[in-house]
Chain A
Amino acid sequence: EAGVAQSPRYKIIEKRQSVAFWCNPISGHATLYWYQQILGQGPKLLIQFQNNGVVDDSQLPKDRFSAERLKGVDSTLKIQPAKLEDSAVYLCASSFFNTGYYGYTFGSGTRLTVV
Chain B
Amino acid sequence: DAKTTQPNSMESNEEEPVHLPCNHSTISGTDYIHWYRQLPSQGPEYVIHGLTSNVNNRMASLAIAEDRKSSTLILHRATLRDAAVYYCILCGSSNTGKLIFGQGTTLQVKP
Contacts and interface: CB of A to CB of B under 8 A. Distances in A.
B100 A105 contact: no
Nearest to B49: A101
Nearest to B100: A45
Chain B interface helix/strand/loop/mixed: loop
Nearest to A91: B43
A26 to B, nearest CB: 12
Contacts of B96: 48, 55-56
Interface string A28-41: 00010101000001
B21 interface: no
Interface residues of B, number: 26
A97 B97 CA distance: 8
A108 B44 CA distance: 8
A100 interface: yes
Interface stretch (B12-20, B75-83, B87-95): B87-95
Interface in A15-61: 31, 33, 35, 41-45, 48, 55-56
- Give chain A's interface secondary structure class: strand
B9 to A, nearest CB: 12
A44 B49 contact: no
Interface of B: 30, 32, 34, 36, 41-46, 49, 51, 85, 87, 91-93, 96-104
4 shortest A-B CB distances, which residue pairs? A42-B101, A106-B43, A102-B97, A43-B101
